[in-house]
Amino acid sequence: MLFDHDIMDPTVAELVERWSSLYKEGRFSALNVREYWRVKVPEIYSPQPNWNCLRITFDEELAQKMLFDPLERFMCGGDPSQVYQMVRQLDTPPSLCGRVFKNGDPTYGCRDCGMDPTCVLCADCFKNSAHSKHRYKISTSSGGGYCDCGDREAWKSDVFCDIHIKGQMAEQSKNPLEMIPPDLIERIHLIFDCILPYAKELLTYEEGFSIPKDLEIREQDREPTNLSSLYDSKDTFVTMLYNDETHTYDQVINTLERAIDCSQKDAVAFATSIDREGRCIVRCSSFQQCSQTKNVMEKQTSRGSGRPLRVQVMPTYVIAHQIFASRLLTWLHNILESAQAFRLIFSEIVNRDGGSIVENIIWTDTKMWKTARVQWHRLFISGMLMDQESKKMFARTFTKNYSRMMKDFILDDHDHAVSVASLGVQLFTMPTIAHMLVAEEDVLARLLNTFLSECDKKLKDNKLALEQRSSNTLSFRRIQYILYDLKYLLGVKPEVWTRELRCGFLHGYNLLLRLLSMMQGMDPMVRQVGTHMEYEPEWESAFNLHIKLAAVIPLVIEWAASDRIVLIKAYRLLMKSLAELCTEDMKRRYVRELLDYSVSCIEYDVSSAPVSIHLPLSRLVAGLTLHLDKYGLNYNSPEFLVKGKPSPEELMEPVLRTQVMIAQVHAGMWRRNGFSLINQIYFYHNVRCRQEMLDRDVMLLQIAATLIDSNEFLVHLLNRFNLISWAQEDYEMQYLRDDVEDGLEGKAHATSATPHRAFRVFKQVHLVLGNSSKLGNDEDNMRQTVVLVEEYLQLVMTIVSERYTPGIGQIGEEERIKKEIIQLLSIEPMPHSVLNKALPEGTNHETGMEKVIDSVADFKKSSGATKGFYELKKSYYSHYNLFFYHYTREEQSKSEVAQRARKKTAGEEECCPPPVPPAFTVPFTMIVNILQCDVFLHILKTVLKRMMDLKSQSVSESQLQKVLHLVGYALHEEERYYHNNDPYFHFTRRAQKISLLGLLEGLVGHPRTTTHKDLLAWTIRKYHSVLSLSASSSKEAQTSEAVMASTSTSVAASASSEKKRRSDIAAQRKARIMMKMASMQQNFIKTNETLFQETSSTEQTNDVVEPTPMDLTEQLPEDMIAIGPRQTLVQPQEVSHTCILCHQEDQVGRGEGSTGRAMVLGALVQRSTVLSRNRSRRLDQPDNHDPLLLPADLYWGAHTSSCGHTMHAHCWQEYFDDVVKKERRKPYRFRQNLSFDIDKSEYLCPLCEALCNTALPLLPSVTTTAVNLRNQDPPSATPTISLTDWIKGLQTILKHKEEEEDTNCVEGTWTPPSLPSVVMDLMSITSPETAEAFTNLFSNLAATTIPAIPSYTMNMMSNFAHAVYVHGLGVHPNLSSRRIPLMVWASAAYTILTLEETQRNANRALLTSLSSRQRDCLSALIRFAAYVPQCVKKKQAIESASVRLLSVILEGGETAPCILEWDSFSALVTLSLSLPSIFPKILGMAVGSMQDLYLLQVCFLAHLVQLLLTYEKQNPVSEMEVEGEEEEGEEAPKDSAEESGAATGDAEWLVSMLDHCRRMASLPPIAVQPQRLLAYIKENCLPFLRCCGLFFHFLTEVPAPEELQSSVFVWESEFYCLLRYLGLSINQLRPTFDDPALLELVSRWCSDSRVRTLVTSAGSESCVNSWTRINQLVSLPHDYSELINTVSQFPCPASSGDDSRTPTMCLVCGKMLCSQSYCCQTEFPEGSRVMVGACTYHAHYCGAGTGIFLRVRECKILLLSGRIKGCFVSPPYLDEYGETDQGLKRGNPLHLDATQYSRLHAMWLSHSIPDIIAHTVESNSGVVPTEWQHL
Ligand SMILES: [Zn+2]
Ligand SMILES: [Zn+2]
Ligand SMILES: [Zn+2]
Ligand SMILES: [Zn+2]
Ligand SMILES: [Zn+2]
Ligand SMILES: [Zn+2]
Ligand SMILES: [Zn+2]
């Protein structure tokens, strides 16, 4: 809003002048302004024909000058900036924040202080508030809401942040409008009043309608003198395409491509813009052309799918006005935000005439496109919701128009978030406004009437019937947003009730009853007999509706229960509704008899008549009844005398039917009803639904139990379960007799009123079921009865024992939650999130659970990969209730197993007796009478007696267990009554009637009771102790009896426990053995596991390392030397391998090894940038790249890895061909989402499913012959050659090299001279002995006696080498490429460099904790690299490469890279493996000879020179000198005297070398501290030595010194150890490099002119700065909210200024990307017409195809590899319970976990990402595949 107001256009000045004088005369009106706009607006904002519609821009500066300036000047009557400032100063600082959230903005709730979860803060307020130290909750906004900071009704405490508290302190007493000159107010009025109608009229303009007359272009404009250009613009039009939610992006893109003939890229841009803005101009041209475009688009999209795209043709001048209108709204929004005075004026205007302007805009909401709507909504928020009075007025208007608005919303297809209806949450959640609306605007009734009008359309027999896939289901889903609004309105119950409030509430309540009546009994089910259900009936819609209503109903109950008058009226209304529903079938009765009780029962058969799970009306009774007692009311109070009011039996009947149906389902009687039923029952019990289902049902049954006589109640239940006949004494006998009768009669009669007959009807139904075998059928029948009895007992137990509901038991809300937690943790210890999810929503999800959790459970901190979890405290184990009614059957048995196991280990009785329940509240005490009534005792007796009878079939162990529990509850209850001195309840006395104790004791030792013998013993003991309590007179006798009883059982118990102990020991032993075997079997699986955690833990890999030949070190002499003349000789052991495919063992032999079949390892070659020290470089042109040497900055490389599983080459080939064949058979589209990409020859290891793309042949050891030969013939006579002479020899080769004409090769090829010619030449400059020695280097038997390799193996070798070339460079196959062997060597070097770095990263000694997988892979790879010369097609490739490399090192030159540009280790690898074969016709192999030592010396020296030249860069001189002096004292050598002497020598030598190097490179000399230099060199060359160590260790198989495998890593000692192992001089550097020829080399290297440039180009990345740096992933902030705040403003780089929806950070380089969005897709590869997402594209360059990203808003790690593969893994951010929160679903504060992050880092460093992806995809097959390339 800050514009430059100094430059005012003269015409504008004149205009303002004119307006002002009109105003003074009182003649100014909006028409004056509009006339000006009519002319000016089209001039500035009209799109011009044939513009590129994607890049439409206007002259905003001109617009400011010509359109906004006059407006502001006139409004302010002078300089706007002064006026603005004046008005703003009137504002006390705002006490409300009100910042409007954009999509993706972070929002913070406070679980401690928020009134409800919709109360949120913006990031700024949050950071400055006390809540940041509370239990806050972070999430991201979907746009639309605003910050609630400062709203007293949103926060229980800490209402203000530090910013807005200031506004609070300055009391807002004065009305700012009183402080402003009335003249100014009037002007502002005039301008606002002009803008609002203008914007409204234009933004709702639709095609075919005319725009307001006064803005139209008129005929007289045509006059050439007048406004002819304006007139001409009348004939230009645009085609405008609108957004909808029916067409997909791709449909829109396709249509656009054809209709306007644009590129795919442009079409994507259009589609993105349409999605963001809601519409977009796609063409600007003549009317005809625009119409034609429109027709094409409509025609194309109306095919098939129905509704066409919305396209309009509009004149450009209208568009101009629309654009200006939209700009005006933004302008207005900014003004309103700036000062309260403006807001008040605004509010005055829009609320005029009962809010007619607001009303108008609400009505036209759906006529506007997305952004236009959002602009209005924003204006409402900034203009009206910040002020209490304005907000109230707005709320009233909103409510008055609610119905119409919702109806528009249903017909509309845009998201709720961009509908004006979404503002409901802002208004209704404020309690004062909500209560006002209920009382004065009848808001509840308005909402419900709107909802009901939709429901009325869906009635069938007066019941809601929601169909599944019909077109109006969508509208029904949209209408359900009303239920959210209802929930907001009822959020806080009123403290004070007024008459109006009661009326308003009850009016709404009555309508709610209508809705619930429609739902009562909906989706009824009838048991399916005979055949299965043909189709699954719809059930989900009803449950979705239920879930939304279930949030409302408890609030309604809470409101109703807070006022006596309301409660009475509500209860009466409810009774009336029930009476209306009470149908005829409810009234039909028959008499049932049991013992002496005859009961009139409702006639109904659940197994044949319809039953429904939806009974909201009955459940509402339960909810309200609980509150009656508070006001001295009950069900039978005279207040509730209503005609047709249901009797208690009728009241519970529907609920009872549901219970019986579920029991029958458990008994297997509803098997044919399919999944719909199963699902409904599942959700009935599930935590998401049960509060308003199962819980209420149990409550209602408990209420009925207080209203009906206990005996009658039990008979009603028995009858409904169809168990009356079961309860008869002679049931078993009768049953058998019936069988005979049935057999004789052949069929049974159906209709009968006697209970016995009823049972037969039931049986008959089963006969009809089609089970022809009579016997089988009877068994089935009996089994069902057994289960039904169990279910019956369970239900009775639930009714008498479940009391953890406030109002039923004497407990509070906290105890209820406590109970749930205890029961959950009795199943198993659980992490915080799992536990939280298992609790019902509501208060628990805020802090309810945290309030009590610590009192019942201990939190065990997370360790490593396991989450932290809660464990139940010991003292609460006795609270465990096995038959807890919220348990599913699985949970029940799981918890029982867990608890029994726990008791067993603790040496306790193996049973879980019933816990003591809390006491009932007074109204519910009647229920305990069930436990002592006659029918109950009869049932106990029946079960126990039949249990005794071995012939009896109708009992089960589970029945006994439940009966014992019931007895236990009765005993608990008697104890309670005894302590209360209340004689009412006396179970033991009444139980004498059936001599219960005798029955129980009679069962002791009975074979049927073994499972529950401990429970039986417990019950009997309890019985005695209760008896002893009550019988006070004969106390002593009783006690002794009790003691005797208990001792007798305990003796029995101890005898059995001894036996048990012994069998336990045996079992344990067995278990141990089994475990050992299992672990052996799983060893390979474990190896596989380590594949993914390799660098994460040492312990794990330790036990996996298999003994290898190298482990024999212990028995070998200490000084092991790998190369050179003093090489330690070892007889390599041939290891035999088992093929994982055919399980046969074979040896990789040499010579006679031809008998052994060729074997391979599955291997993966991948391009890599992991080690790159310069991320600005990348391998752009792999087709021309020369892989002779790795670059010094390692910006590219090819990594080879293997899972280490061996296969026969034949077996592998067969397997691989099979995989290919299978995949090729699949249609292409199914191949896309596999874990491997067959087009890149990928496959999975058949054993461990590791990702592979080639097979690495296993070859014999290279040193075998060498050892054999040298053992026979000690090397005494062989002449030796000095380093100088050796170099002379090599130089001779170079001198005679010849260039070969080969146009195919960029790098040129060379041919070496023959060996004899070199020797001849050499002889002339040195001695014959030297020449002979030189000859020996190349023709000695050890190196040239190479085993004959079978041709099949040879084939495998060429294949592998070629695969390294293809995958490592990412090029097309070319079997004859000369680069193949070079790639193998480069890859070997790169793989070693990687391994060295991973070891260093884990702070490990060189060989410590290497897994067998790593050893096998490296050993095979290095051997293979040594054998490569054998398998190349043309040996010249090797010779030429060797010559070239020698030339680079010894000669240099302009075409060769300079010393600072090549990696010295890779030079060593390539040279030592190629040099033996340099001469034509000679095939040699590196075996760790003299020559290898010399090569090492040269390459080591090269590395030293590199270090010396870059010393200054890493240790800037100025600092160094200062520090050096300071540290001199500390630097005093602590080593032994001898070593320190050597060290001093080295230090001085290094200083002189440094001087020499710098002089040669023409660099100025620098002063250095010798000891510091030495330390630097030693530390920095260690990685090089370590790589050499690995290379020669695996090449020569000389055992490594113990130290290299020790668990402690001391770098300095490893340095000397490696010097020794590599055959260099011990303890000192200098002697190694004393040779004068070497100094000459140094001079040559350094004098290259490029060296100086590289070293001095300060700060440039072209020269390596650090040789030891281990690449890290980017460092992340500790607090996750920090991260999310920073990305909230991240704009999409492709679309100007728009926020990115999925900001995603590359963890390798830290770049932020706009992922998974059309806007940032790129065509890749270019010209392929394949679009890939920003991440895929970035990964290609940043990570050579592999990527690791953090999706910031969701807190997820994304891994990508090979373009089409990817997966999500858990992020390194954890909450305080050690859990991740992917997708921010829970919103707990998250903090960076260093361990987790370093695990990710290690994974990346070790190149495991492709493998992890393959594994994750493989284990999640079946999950909807993601199109990873679009991310
Ligand atoms: Zn705020
Ligand atoms: Zn604030
Ligand atoms: Zn708080
Ligand atoms: Zn095999
Ligand atoms: Zn494997
Ligand atoms: Zn983007
Ligand atoms: Zn990157």
Ligand nearest to the CA of 1146: 4
Nearest CA to 1595 among 1346, 1321, 1821, 1388? 1388
pLDDT tens digit sequence for 955-994: 898 999 999 999 999 999 999 988 888 888 889 888 888 8
Cα distances (Å, whole numbers) of residue 590 to 598, 950, 1579: 10, 35, 98
Helix (H, G, I), strand (E, B) or coil at 1783: coil
Q: How many A from CA of 1081 to the centre of ligand 4?
A: 20
The gap from C-alpha 1438 to its chain's centroid, in whole angstroms, comes to 51
Share above pLDDT 90 across residues of the chain, in percent, rounded to a whole number = 34
What pLDDT score does 1270 carry?
58
Give the pLDDT band of residue 1417 (cuts 50, 70, 90): very high
d(CA 1538, CA 1542): 6
What pLDDT score does 1045 carry? 45
Q: What Rg value do the Cα atoms of the chain yield, rounded?
A: 44
Q: Give residue 163 CA to ligand 2 midpoint distance, Å.
A: 5
Dist. CA 1479–CA 1293, nearest whole Å: 9
| Residues measured by CB to lie within 5 Å of ligand 2, the ion | 97, 125, 149, 161, 163-164
Mean pLDDT confidence for 1494-1509? 93
- Which of 239-248, 499-508, 1258-1267 has the least mean pLDDT? 1258-1267
CA distance 1531 to 1537: 14
Greater pLDDT, 703 or 1699: 703
Between strands 869-872 and 1197-1208, the pairing is unpaired
Task: Report yes or no: 435 and 563 within 8 Å, Cβ to Cβ.
Answer: no
3-state secondary structure of 1007: helix
Would you state the pLDDT for residue 40? 87
Q: Which ligand is nearest to the CA of 1698?
A: 6
1724 CA to centre of ligand 7 in angstroms: 17
pLDDT for res 147: 92
Tally Cβ neighbours within 10 Å of residue 1139: 20
Q: What's the Cα-to-Cα distance from 61 to each of 33, 233, 325, 845, 1389, rounded to whole Å? A: 20, 22, 17, 52, 61
| Å from CA of 1364 to ligand 5 middle | 19
Taking CA 590 as the corner, what is the angle to CA 587 and CA 594, rounded to the nearest 5 degrees? Answer: 135
- Whether residue 1385 is predicted with pLDDT greater than 80 in this model: the reply is yes
| pLDDT value of position 1050 | 47
Ligand 2 center–CA 1754 separation, angstroms:
25
pLDDT over threshold 50, residue 1088: no
Q: Which ligand is nearest to the CA of 1091?
A: 5
Q: Mean pLDDT over residues 647-669, rounded?
A: 93
The amino acid at residue 925 is T
Q: Is 808 left (phi over 0), alpha (psi -120 to 50) or beta?
A: alpha
Q: How far is the CA of 737 from the centre of ligand 6 (A)?
A: 81
Q: Tokens for 1544?
A: 């001093």
- Report how far apart, in Å, the C-alpha atoms of 501 and of each of 439, 504, 508, 560 are: 4, 5, 11, 11
At 423, the amino acid letter reads: L
SS3 1162: strand
Checking if the pLDDT of 1171 tops 80, the result is yes
State phi, psi for 1708 to the nearest 5 degrees: -85, -45
Average pLDDT score over the chain: 83
- Ligand 5 centroid from CA 1085, angstroms: 9
- Report the interhelical angle of 1328-1339 vs 1315-1325 (nearest 10°): 150
pLDDT of residue 484: 93
pLDDT for position 1094 = 37
Cβ atoms of 648 and 707 closer than 8 Å: yes
User: Alpha helices, DSSP H only, in 1169-1241?
Assistant: 1209-1225, 1228-1231
Ligand 7 centroid vs 1801 CA: distance in angstroms?
14
721, 783, 1371 from 667: Cα distances, Å: 11, 8, 66
- Could you give the 3-state DSSP secondary structure of residue 817? helix
Checking if the pLDDT of 47 tops 60, the result is yes
**What confidence score (pLDDT) does residue 1101 get?**
36
Q: For the residues 1501-1526, what does the mean pLDDT come to? A: 69
Q: Are 599 and 712 in contact (CB under 8 A)?
A: yes
**Cβ-contact 454, 520 below 8 angstroms:** no
Element (H, E) at 136: strand 136-142
Q: What's the CA-to-centroid distance between 1205 and ligand 2, angstroms?
A: 62
Distance 122 CA to ligand 3 centre (A): 14
Is a pLDDT exceeding 50 seen at residue 1669? yes
Please tell me the predicted confidence (pLDDT) of residue 233: 76
pLDDT at residue 1406 above 60? yes
Could you read off the pLDDT of 1686-1741 as tens digits, one per residue?
Answer: 887 788 887 766 778 889 999 999 999 999 888 888 888 887 778 889 999 999 98
Residue 169 exposed, middle or buried by CB count within 10 Å (0-12, 13-18, 19+): exposed
Compute the distance from residue 147 Cα to the ligand 3 centre, in Å: 15
Q: How far is the CA of 148 from the centre of ligand 1 (A)?
A: 7
Whether the pLDDT of residue 507 is over 90: the answer is: yes
The amino acid at 705: A
Residues contacting 1051, CB < 8 A, separation 6+? none
Query: Which position has the higher pLDDT, 1292 or 217?
Result: 1292
* Among the bound ligands, the one closest to the CA of 272: 6
Distances (CA, A) of 1684 to 171, 1049, 1677, 1767: 35, 66, 10, 22
Which ligand is closest in space to the CA of residue 1709? 7
pLDDT at 133 over 80: yes
* Ligand closest to the CA atom of residue 1156: 4
Buried/exposed 1565-1604: b ≥16 CB within 10 Å, e otherwise: eeebbbbbbbebbbebbbbbbbbbbbbbbbbbbbbbbebb
DSSP state, residue 1298: E
Query: Of 15-29, 723-737, 769-783, which range is least confident?
Result: 769-783
CA of 1248 to the centre of ligand 5 (A): 4
Ligand 6 centre from 1679 Cα, in Å?
26
Least distant ligand from the CA of 1172: 7
pLDDT computed for residue 808 by the predictor: 93
Ligand minimally distant from the alpha carbon of residue 163 = 2
Q: Mark out the alpha helices in 1532-1610 (DSSP H runs).
A: 1537-1560, 1570-1596
CA of 1265 to the centre of ligand 4 (A): 28
Judged by its nearest atom, the ligand closest to the C-alpha of residue 150 is: 2
CA of 1319 to the centre of ligand 1 (A): 86
What residues sit around ligand 4, an ion, with C-beta below 5 angstroms? 1139, 1141-1142, 1208, 1211
Q: What's the pLDDT band for 1264 if we cut at 50, 70, 90?
A: low
Compute the distance between CA of residue 1662 and CA of residue 1739 in angstroms, rounded to an integer.
22
Residue 1269 confidence (pLDDT):
59
Q: How many CB atoms lie within 10 A of CB 1000?
A: 21
Q: What's residue 1227's pLDDT?
A: 67
- What is residue 1520's predicted lDDT score, i.e. its pLDDT? 45
> How far, in Å, from the CA of 265 to the mean position of ligand 6?
13
Task: Give 307 Cα–ligand 6 centroid separation in angstroms.
Answer: 29
3 state DSSP class of 525: strand
Taking the centre of ligand 2 as the mean of its atom positions, its distance from the CA of residue 735, in whole angstroms, is 77
Give start and end residues of each alpha helix (H) in 1743-1808: 1794-1805
pLDDT in tens, 1431-1474: 888 888 898 899 999 999 998 888 888 898 999 999 999 999 99
CA of residue 386 to ligand 2 center, whole Å: 13
CA of 634 to the centre of ligand 4 (A): 82
Which amino acid, residue 276?
Answer: R
CA–CA gap between residue 1024 and residue 1046 (Å, rounded): 9
Which residues are within 5 Å of ligand 6 (an ion), measured at CB?
1692, 1694, 1714, 1717, 1719-1720
pTM: predicted TM-score of the whole model, two decimal places: 0.79
Shortest-distance ligand to the CA of residue 101: 1
Residue with structure tokens 């703003």? Answer: 88
Closest CA to 1419 of 1677, 1204, 1224, 1251: 1204
User: Could you tell me the pLDDT band of residue 1539, with boundaries at 50, 70 and 90?
Assistant: low
Instruction: Read off the pLDDT of each residue in 67-92 and give the average, rounded to a whole number.
Output: 83
DSSP string covering 50-71: T--GGG----HHHHIIIIIHHH
What is the rounded distance in angstroms from the CA atom of residue 1266 to the CA atom of residue 1277?
A: 16
Query: Which two three-digit tokens encode residue 1038?
Result: 């009783």
- Of 498, 501, 506, residue with least CA distance to 574: 506
Query: Residue 794 pLDDT > 90, yes or no?
Result: yes
Q: In 1600-1648, which residue ranges form alpha helices assigned H by DSSP?
A: 1611-1621, 1636-1647
Question: Distance from the CA of 1253 to the center of ligand 5, in angstroms?
Answer: 12
Highest mean pLDDT among 158-172, 213-227, 994-1008, 1222-1236: 994-1008
Lowest mean pLDDT among 790-794, 955-959, 1006-1010, 1228-1232: 1228-1232
Residue range 913-942, pLDDT digits in tens: 999 999 999 999 989 999 999 999 999 999
Instruction: Express each pLDDT in 1542-1552 by its tens digit.
Output: 667 888 899 99
So what's the pLDDT on residue 1093?
A: 42
1242 pLDDT higher than 70: yes
Tell me the pLDDT tens digit for each residue of 1207-1218.
Answer: 999 999 999 999
**Which listed ligand is nearest to 156 at the C-alpha?**
3
Reduced DSSP (H G I as helix, E B as strand, rest coil) percent helix, strand, coil of the chain, to 5: 60, 10, 35
d(CA 853, CA 523): 39
pLDDT attached to residue 1115: 38
Q: Does the pLDDT value for residue 637 go beyond 60?
A: yes
Residue 453 has pLDDT above 60, yes or no: yes
Mean per-residue pLDDT for 1224-1229?
70
Q: Which ligand is nearest to the CA of 1141?
A: 4
CA 168 – ligand 1 centroid, Å: 14
Amino acid 555 reads L
Give the model's pLDDT for residue 737. 66
CA dist 537 and 555 (Å) reads 31
Cα 151 to averaged position of ligand 2 atoms, centre (Å):
10
Question: Which residues sit opposite 1027 in a β-bridge?
Answer: none
Give distance in angstroms: CA of 1168 to centre of ligand 5: 22
Helix (H) or strand (E) holding 241: strand 237-242
Q: 126 alpha carbon to ligand 3 midpoint, in Å?
A: 10
Instruction: For residue 766, give both structure tokens.
Output: 């089963």
**pLDDT digits over 730-743, tens only?**
787 777 666 555 54
Pair 1244, 1252: CB distance under 8 Å: yes
CA dihedral (158, 160, 163, 168) positive or negative: negative
Dihedral (C-alpha) 1036, 1039, 1044, 1050: value to the nearest 10 degrees? -160
pLDDT tens-digit readout, 288-320? 988 998 988 888 887 766 778 889 998 888 899
How does residue 168 score in pLDDT terms, banded at 50, 70 and 90?
low
Q: Which ligand is nearest to the CA of 1214?
A: 4
Cα–ligand 4 centroid distance for 1206 (angstroms): 9
Kindly give the distance from the C-alpha atom of residue 1691 to the centroid of ligand 6, in angstroms, as a whole number. Answer: 8
| pLDDT value at residue 308 | 84
Instruction: Say which range, 85-94, 1380-1389, 1594-1603, has the weakest mean pLDDT.
Output: 85-94
> For residues 272 and 267, what is the distance between their CA atoms, to the nearest angstrom?
9
**Mean pLDDT score, 1317-1325:** 87
Which ligand ends up closest to the CA of 158? 3
Q: Would residue 151 be called left, alpha or beta, if left means φ above 0 and alpha means ψ between -120 and 50 degrees?
A: beta
- Going by the DSSP 8-state scheme, the letter that residue 121 receives in this structure is B
* Percentage of the chain exceeding pLDDT 70: 85
If you measure from the C-alpha of residue 113 to the centroid of ligand 2, how many angstroms do you get, rounded to a whole number?
15
For residue 94, give the ligand nearest its CA.
Answer: 2
Instruction: Output 612 or 266, whichever has higher pLDDT.
Output: 612
- Tell how many helices (H) and how many strands (E) occur in the chain: 71, 29
pLDDT of residue 1279 exceeding 80: no
Q: What is the pLDDT of residue 214?
A: 83
Query: In 10 A of CB 733, how many CB atoms?
Result: 10
CA–centroid distance, 417 to ligand 1, in Å, is 20
Beta bridge partner(s), residue 1679? 1791
For residues 166 and 93, is the Cβ–Cβ distance under 8 A?
A: yes
**Ligand 2 centroid to 1174 CA: how many Å?**
45
CA of 125 to the centre of ligand 1 (A): 4
Q: For the residues 233-245, what does the mean pLDDT come to?
A: 85
Q: How far is the CA of 1730 from the centre of ligand 6 (A)?
A: 17
For the segment 1521-1532, the average pLDDT, to the nearest whole number, is 42
User: Peptide bond before 1725: cis, by omega within 30 degrees of 0?
Assistant: yes
1260 CA from centroid of ligand 4 (Å): 18
Residue type, 568: I
Ligand 3 centroid–CA 107 distance in Å is 14
pLDDT interval class at 1822 (50, 70, 90): low
Residue 654 has pLDDT above 90, yes or no: yes
